[in-house]
Structure formats: C-alpha cells, structure tokens
C-alpha cells in the first residue's frame, strides 16, 4: 500500500498519522481513498511502522534429573503495522546438546524446551496483514542442578 509523503520546512517526511473530522468526531484515518473516474483508489496509508519487542528479554529452564527442561514463557509484543499478525519462532543458534524447540512456534507467547546444559537463541518473525515484517531475538539457557 502506498505511503504518503509531505513537504515540511525541514524537508520531505513520511506521514504516519492523520486525523480528520468525521461526523463531528476527530478520528484517526488509516487510509486515504479517492474516487477516480468511478474507481475507488487508495492513494495513501497512515500506518505506524511494524515493530516487535520480547518480554522478558531472556528465558531459562532448570532440570534436576535427566531429560528436557522447559523455560519460562516469553511474549512478543507488536506495535504498528496492520493486524492481524502472524508469528514464527525459529532457532538461529544452538550451543545445546540437543535440538531445542519453541513449544508454541506460531503464537505470540511461547516457552522453549531443550536439554541442560546449553544455550540457544530464538528469533520471532512477525508479519502483518500488509506483508510487512519485523523480528526480535531472545537468549535461552537450559541449566541442570543437583
């Protein structure tokens, strides 16, 4: 979808927010459409850029006996873009004796499962309804204790 640019005293800027009076109420406008020879055309989009943050910034799991450990959950929080959003958690590095996995690889919230003692890094890739993408990473640690 095209984005609108406007000339300001400091130069050309991208317009990401636009409000207009609509039925006596100030409303946030997401798209600007015009009727052109009987065809309704979108000429601009006012959507904040897509971004993602992960909380907490790290995850860890502990296990006293043999087998896999499961970490605390982490949540990817999205701002901007146009919903609905899709999520994909992928492993980008692994220093773990096994192959750690995300327990909910297509959800906003997930935990991780792997063997102690090792580390991994997972990345969440978020795509909005317009095809824009954003990503964030989380460090994951699996610990054994006696």
17: exposed, middle or buried (Cβ count in 10 Å: 0-12, 13-18, 19+): exposed
Range of the domain at 85: 51-144
Residues 64 and 132 reside in one and the same domain: yes
Q: What is the pLDDT of residues 84-94, one digit of tens each?
A: 999 999 999 99
Distance CA 121, CA 58 (A): 9
Residues 38 and 60 reside in one and the same domain: no
Overall domain count for the chain: 2
DSSP-derived 3-state class of residue 84: coil
Residues 24 and 92 reside in one and the same domain: no
For the ranges 22-26, 81-85, 99-103, 110-114, the lowest mean pLDDT is seen at 22-26
Residues 27 and 68 reside in one and the same domain: no
Distance CA 124, CA 111 (A): 12
Residues 36 and 64 reside in one and the same domain: no
Res 1 pLDDT > 60: no
- pTM for the model stands at 0.72
Q: What is the pLDDT of residues 8-45, one digit of tens each?
A: 788 877 766 667 776 777 766 667 778 888 888 877 76
């Amino acid at each position: 979808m095209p984005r609108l640019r406007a000339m300001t005293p400091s130069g050309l800027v991208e317009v990401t927010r636009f409000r207009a009076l609509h039925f006596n109420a100030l409303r946030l406008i997401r798209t600007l459409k015009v009727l052109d020879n009987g065809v309704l055309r979108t000429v601009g989009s006012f959507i904040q850029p897509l971004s993602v943050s992960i909380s907490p910034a790290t995850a860890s799991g502990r296990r006293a006996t043999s087998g896999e450990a499961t970490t605390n959950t982490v949540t990817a929080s999205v701002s901007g873009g146009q919903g609905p959003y899709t999520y994909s958690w992928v492993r980008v590095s692994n220093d773990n004796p096994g192959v750690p996995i995300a327990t909910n690889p297509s959800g906003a919230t997930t935990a991780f499962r792997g063997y102690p003692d090792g580390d991994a890094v997972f990345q969440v890739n978020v795509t909005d309804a317009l095809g824009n993408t954003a990503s964030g990473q989380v460090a994951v640690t699996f610990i054994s204790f006696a």
